[in-house]
Amino acid sequence: MAQTFVIPPPPIAWLSTTTGEAFPVRRVYCVARNYAGHAVEMGHDPDQEPPFFFQKNPNNLIQNKPFPYPSQSHDVHHEVELMAALKKGGRNIAMDSALDCIWGYGVALDMTCRDLQTHAKQLGRPWMRGKAFESSSPCSAIRPVSNCGHPHHGAINLWVNGELRQAGDLSQQIWKVPEIITFLSRDFELAPGDIILTGTPAGVAAVHLGDKLEAVIEGVEKLSVSVVHSD
């Protein structure tokens, strides 16, 4: 007998891919302070911290849309990140088999309400308001591993109105993608449809209404997005 629901089930969140098919999104995990330069600019010592994570919601990811500046913040920052999309998961995944879990890669922006995040830190509270607000992560299409391989190095850059703001290399990640998957799988059961945002290089800064952002990861994808008023 088919299951009935008291309300209509919510639609499945999904991202487009370069193959023309949709990638269904289950969960979104984000790695904090995974580039030494960014950790330092945020006031932390990267040599003294194990990896730690926060989450966004699947429907926080947006594609082919402008970024609506959230009305609750006055200090929204850009953070360009490599996005990994999983085709399988599990618990306690061995590092030497972690890359087998990945279907493909893309470019994502972890837009951050820095004022709300800073206030939450001061109070010892979660970062949800500063990180998981509506439309907080513009994304490119996902490119399959069969097309781009596993990018261990390559430029990760972001321009605002043609000015280079963030310039790094994937090789500068403190915790590489296999390590991230292994660490996450110790605490969570990873599964097909999970998305992992793998951290941002130094150079994060505020965006303003009317700004044009362009993010490129060498050999992966590019992303262009405008900053507009929220409805």
Q: Burial-class residue 170 by CB neighbours within 10 Å (0-12, 13-18, 19+).
A: buried
pLDDT of residue 40: 45
Q: Which pair of tokens denotes residue 125?
A: 């509270």
Cβ atoms 86, 99 nearer than 8 A? no
54: CB partners within 8 A, 6+ apart: 30, 32, 126, 127, 131, 132
pLDDT tens digits along 44-88: 566 657 788 999 999 999 999 999 999 999 999 999 999 999 999
Architecture of domain 14-229: Alpha-Beta Complex (3.90)
Residue 43 pLDDT level (bands cut at 50, 70, 90): low
Q: What is the mean pLDDT of the chain?
A: 94
Q: How far apart are CA 168 and CA 204, in angstroms?
A: 12
Amino acid 92 reads N
pLDDT of residue 44: 56
pLDDT tens digits along 87-128: 999 999 999 999 999 999 999 999 999 999 999 999 999 999
Q: How far apart are CA 174 and CA 179, in angstroms?
A: 10
pLDDT of residue 192: 98
Percent share of the chain, pLDDT over 70: 95
The answer on pLDDT for 42 being more than 60 is no
Domain ranges of the chain: 14-229
Q: Burial-class residue 42 by CB neighbours within 10 Å (0-12, 13-18, 19+).
A: middle
pLDDT tens digits along 67-77: 999 999 999 99
Q: What is the pTM of this model?
A: 0.94
